[in-house]
Amino acid sequence: MSDEGQPEPGTLERAVEATLFAAEEPLGVEALCAHLGGLALADVREALALLEARYRNRGVHLVERGGRWHFETAPDLAHLLRREKEQVRRLSRAATEVLAIIAYHEPVSRAEIESIRGVQTSAGTLDVLMEAGWVKPAGRREVPGRPVIYATTPTFLDHFGLASRRDLPGIDELRAAGLLDPVDEAMEAHMRFEPDDESDPQSDGQDDGQDDENLAD
C-alpha cells in the first residue's frame, strides 16, 4: 500500500470487481478476460491481485479456489450468516411424564413407557426430549422385535441438578410426600378440613382411621 493510502481503483479493477460480484459462480482468469472483451491475462491477474489486497481487511474477501475467483464473507464473520435465535419453552406435561418414566426405569422401550403411562406416546414427545438432550437411544432390547430402548444423558443430570440417578426420590418417599395419591383422593383429603365437615368430630375420627388403612396398602 502506498503512503497516500489506497489509490482510486482503476477501470479494469472496477470492472473485475463488478463482474465477480455479479457472477453466479466463481470465474477463472481466462473467463474473466473473455468476459471483459479479450484483455491480456496479465492485466486481469494484476487487477485481481490489487482487489485481493484491497479486500484483505474487509468484511468480504476476494478468494481464489482452484484457479477460480469469488467474493466470500470473511471467515471471522461467518457466524453472522447463521444466526441462532433461542426460544425457551417449558416441557409439556406429556413430555415431562415420559422423561420421568425414562429416568426412573431406564433403559426402557417405548412400549414399556406406554404401558406405564397407560396412554400412547406421540412420536414428537420422544423427539422433544432428545432435542433437549436429556434422553438418548441406548441400544435395543434383545426381545422379539428388538425395540429401541431409551436412557437419560449426563445433560439430564446437569439440567435437573442431580449428581446421579440415585438422587431421584424413591417410591416410598414419593408416597410420603403425597405424590402417589391419585388426584381425587388428594382432593378429598384436602376437602376434609374444609368447614363443611366440622359438624361431627367423632365421625371424622372414624373416617381418618380408614384413610390410614388405605395408605398402608
Biggest alpha carbon–alpha carbon distance for the chain:
111
Binding to a copy of itself by residue 58, rule CB under 8 A?
A: yes
Q: Which does 164 bind (CB under 5 to 8 A by kind): another protein, a copy of itself, none?
A: none
27 touches 69 (CB < 8 A)? yes
- Applying CB under 8 A, among 22, 143, 183, 216 the residue interacting with a copy of itself is 22
The phi and psi torsions of 81 (rounded to 5 degrees) equal -80, -30
Burial of 19 per CB tally in 10 Å (0-12, 13-18, 19+): middle
- Applying CB under 8 A, among 39, 63, 74, 132 the residue interacting with a copy of itself is 74
Contact partners, residue 112, CB within 8 Å, separation at least 6: 105
Q: Which of residues 59-78 bind another protein (CB under 8 A)?
A: 61, 70-75, 78
86 touches 94 (CB < 8 A)? no
Q: Which of residues 93-152 bind another protein (CB under 8 A)?
A: 93-94, 96-97, 99-101, 103-104, 116-120, 128, 131-132, 134
Site for a copy of itself, rule CB under 8 A: 1-6, 8-9, 13-19, 21-22, 35-37, 57-60, 71, 73-74, 77, 80-81, 83-85
